[in-house]
Amino acid sequence: MSYIEDIRIYDRKEDKFRSVLTNCVSHMFKRILKSKLRTPNVFIFSIYLTDDESKHLSYYHYGGFLTIDYFFDPDVYQQSKDVFERKKMILDMIRNALLHVASCENWGTDIILDTYNTCLASEIKNEWWFKGKPIASPDRRHYIGMYTVYDFSRFEYWLVLFDKAKTELIRHLVYKDRAEIFVISHLSWQDREHIVYKFGGPQKLFIYSIDDLLQSRVAEIPEKIHLMFK
């Protein structure tokens, strides 16, 4: 058995949604879904937006890819000024497309609905801790965590220091971009006074002491994000 590894949304016609329809909602759904939705042989679930209503929910499967057409009115989406409503339109689209295929292919549907409801309960805010929670120092006097915020046109990492009672002491914005370009791959304590983290790809290590964090001696984020790694 396989499981859904990625959920992607595309525009078949003019790429109207590239600037506004970001990946934060599909990323949240996929992150919560994890490897719970078992499929015979589908790894990538792609939703293609179309203005042809006759093609709505038609799909085909090739290799590990499943592609489904979804009728979507861009005017309704673009006229909405409410961020939550826009996110919910995308979330509803993902749920409806998955449920349609699941019912046709005899996949389980409960996990799809559970994931949808979890997203709604979180107000569709795609925020989480790296590795699920802050990490205790060797002497357990502090905790360090990397908190991720992935929203419309905003992807951020916040380095957060706690005391032994897990009371937040200070947080620093250590990465900011419009999308998920560079991703944290490691965070740990070097010893009881120093933490280290790195991103996947670049080899640069970012090392700070507890005092560095408390005194805000943290590198500023450059305007051109690749300069962080020099």
Edge to edge, the sheet with strand 6-11 lists 6-11, 44-50, 65-71, 59-62
Is the pLDDT at 17 greater than 90? The verdict is no
Instruction: Specify the pLDDT at position 13.
Output: 63
Give the Cα separation of 175 and 157 in Å (integer): 5
Residue 10 or residue 31, greater confidence: 31
Of residues 196 and 181, more confidence is placed in 196
Q: Give domain limits for the chain.
A: 2-121, 126-229
* Closest among 206, 156, 204 to 177, alpha carbons compared: 156
The pLDDT of residue 2: 84
The overall average pLDDT reported for the chain is 92
Greater pLDDT, 78 or 52: 52
* Nearest-angstrom CA–CA distance, 87 and 204: 35
Q: Is the pTM of this model over 0.85?
A: yes
